Structure 1
Amino acid sequence: MEDLVRPIYQERASHRNTLGILMIEKKLNNSAIADTFDLVLFVIVKDAEQPVFIKHYVSNEQKAALYVVDEKKLNEWILLGSNRKVIDWVLNGKVLFDRNEYVHALRKRLLEFPQEIRQLKMGIEFAKLIRRYTDGKVFFETKQLLDAYNHIVHALHHLARLAVIEQGFYPEVTVWNQVKQIDPQIYKLYEELIESEETLDKRLELLFLASEFLIHSRIASGTAHLLKVLGEKKEAWTIGEITEHPDLKVYSIDIVIMLEYLVERNVLLIEEVPTKGQGIYHRYYVVKKN
């Protein structure tokens, strides 16, 4: 199959814009890694009109996919975890072309996983975790059990990824294999949710209680990035200033519910500033001093 796609990657390698080309072949025990294709060519470019360009090929009943991704989109995927296959592709793909050792340096950066990037990724996962957990609990309390189940499953996935990042690793596509080794307690919760013979109502009740403890125990790691930004820049923040801050935009809308969670836990304090309207106050967020 590599012989068949050789003209494709040789043509791409001739472009000055191309930074690196990797080849990912389907694994016998995990075809999902290659998106069910027999082979994936992953081309990283400096910039492009389309952040992501995809082509599909077929030859002798074998399928191949070409992904051309610009550097900005690749870094976004890595930071936000919005395309987790890419981590596997970059770390484990066969390097076919590497301009000025770009791929080598990228792999080194991923493996070193700098503390500032790790904190940010933990913050993003923590915010998503709080969103899913909070919404799921509301559904549970209003007896919308299937919706509650859906949210707690997603919450556990975010908790699992947070636990993996805490230990200095990037969450893989098969994140539960990682968590089984890294944090058996979270893995056991997931098992109990999907395998227990208890009624759904009872399973959810136990899961929400156990999850609340595990979430609370990760407040420090999950909020380190947010509190660092808020604590260093100024004393009190409006919600608009927080959501528009360039270092915090990656949290997206999840940051709103994360802030409320931290207020309830007395990690953030509320400062009321009078408006022109009688009895109406602006709500400012302040990091509690230790």
Structure 2
Amino acid sequence: MEQILRPIYQERASSPETLGVILLEKRTDGDPVTDTFDEILLIITSNNDIPIYTKHYTEGTGKAAMHVISEKQLRKWLLLGTKRKVVDWLFYGKIYFDRNEFVEKLKEELKEYPFHGRRVKMGLELSKLVRTYMEGKSFFDRKDFMDSYHHAVQSLHHLARLAIIESGLSPEVTVWSQVKKLDPAIYKLYEELILSEEPIEKRLELMFLASEFFIHNRTVDGARHILDIMSAKSNWTIQELHEHEELRMYSINLEVLIEFLVDKGLIEIVKSESKNEFVFHRDYSVKLSQ
């Protein structure tokens, strides 16, 4: 397939808008990292008019996918962590074209993690962790153990990613292989949840108790991004928080994170008068000790 694709990526490389061309070959049959394709051709472009453009190719029994991704879209994926396989494409693919070492510099950025970028990622993972943990605990309290188990696994996945980001690395598709080396205690908790022969109710009870400790220890660092933003002024309405450019990334998890940080004493409630003398507006402020 590589010979078939060569004229395609050579043509793309000749465009002044092309920043990099990467080719990734499958490692095993049905490899999910390549979406089961034999090869992935990733082309990064400076043209942001079309964030994503995809084509599929076939030759004999082989198949390949070409993804033309704008730099803006790529950086958004990397920041939000919504396309984890793209990290694998960047690190394990073969670079065929690299304008002004764009790809190599991007890979170095991912390795070194600009501090601000790490804080954003930690905040996003904390918000997802809090939501899945709370939903799982709610199902557990109602004795809906299978639904609770589903959310418990999700929350441990977010906890694992948070631990990886905290260490300065980028979460890969093989998150648990990374965590086993970086934080064996979290790996052990995950292992006990899915492999233990204890009744599911007992496994979930132990998982939720232990997770409280792990979440507590990472709350301040995980919330540093949102706390830094909120420190810019004395108090915020919830609408102002939703409209802030960076906090928009938290999406549906923003409010549950705010309430979680209120409970933890990191954010305090500020009451302000409304048109109704019996009802107050509920605004938010970073606690001064922070």
In the TM superposition, 1:27-46 aligns within 5 A as: 27-28=27-28, 31-46=31-46
Q: Does residue 237 in structure 1 map to residue 236 in structure 2?
A: yes
CA-atom RMSD, angstroms? 1.3
| Percent of paired sites with the same residue | 50
- In the TM superposition, residue 48 of structure 1 has moved relative to its aligned partner by 4.6
Residues 150-175 of structure 1: CA deviation (Å, up to 9, x unaligned): 11111000000000001000000000
Instruction: Tell me the TM-score normalised to structure 1 length.
Output: 0.96
- In the TM superposition, residue 136 of structure 1 has moved relative to its aligned partner by 1.1
Secondary structure of 1:121's counterpart equals helix
Q: Which amino acid aligns with 2:248?
A: K
- In the TM superposition, residue 11 of structure 1 has moved relative to its aligned partner by 1.5
The aligned counterpart of 2:211 is 211
Q: Does residue 146 in structure 1 map to residue 136 in structure 2?
A: no
Of 165-174 and 95-104, the range deviating more from structure 2: 95-104
In the TM superposition, 1:90-109 aligns within 5 A as: 90-109=90-109
Q: Does residue 259 in structure 1 map to residue 278 in structure 2?
A: no
- In the TM superposition, residue 49 of structure 1 has moved relative to its aligned partner by 3.9
In the TM superposition, structure 1's runs of 4+ consecutive aligned residues that sit over 6 Å from their partners are none
The unaligned stretches of length 5 or more in structure 1 are none
CA distance in 1, matches of 2:159, 2:77: 19
CA distance in 2, matches of 1:36, 1:30: 4
CA distance in 2, matches of 1:266, 1:249: 23
The aligned counterpart of 1:80 is 80
Q: Which amino acid aligns with 1:210?
A: A
Q: Which amino acid aligns with 2:261?
A: L
Secondary structure of 1:286's counterpart equals strand
CA distance in 2, matches of 1:87, 1:214: 26
Q: Which amino acid aligns with 1:37?
A: F
CA distance in 1, matches of 2:246, 2:81: 17
- In the TM superposition, residue 278 of structure 1 has moved relative to its aligned partner by 2.2
- In the TM superposition, residue 28 of structure 1 has moved relative to its aligned partner by 3.6
Secondary structure of 2:125's counterpart equals helix
The aligned counterpart of 2:185 is 185
- In the TM superposition, residue 58 of structure 1 has moved relative to its aligned partner by 1.6
- In the TM superposition, residue 176 of structure 1 has moved relative to its aligned partner by 0.2
Instruction: Tell me the TM-score normalised to structure 2 length.
Output: 0.96
The aligned counterpart of 2:22 is 22
Q: Which amino acid aligns with 1:247?
A: E
The aligned counterpart of 1:137 is 137
The aligned counterpart of 2:278 is 279
CA distance in 2, matches of 1:243, 1:143: 34
The aligned counterpart of 1:50 is 50
CA distance in 1, matches of 2:165, 2:29: 25
CA distance in 1, matches of 2:5, 2:156: 40
Count of aligned pairs: 289
Residues 207-265 of structure 1: CA deviation (Å, up to 9, x unaligned): 1111111101101211011111111x101111111111112111111010011111111
Q: Which amino acid aligns with 1:89?
A: W
Q: Which amino acid aligns with 1:259?
A: I
- In the TM superposition, residue 80 of structure 1 has moved relative to its aligned partner by 0.3
The aligned counterpart of 2:70 is 70
- In the TM superposition, residue 12 of structure 1 has moved relative to its aligned partner by 1.2
- In the TM superposition, residue 32 of structure 1 has moved relative to its aligned partner by 2.3
Secondary structure of 1:42's counterpart equals strand
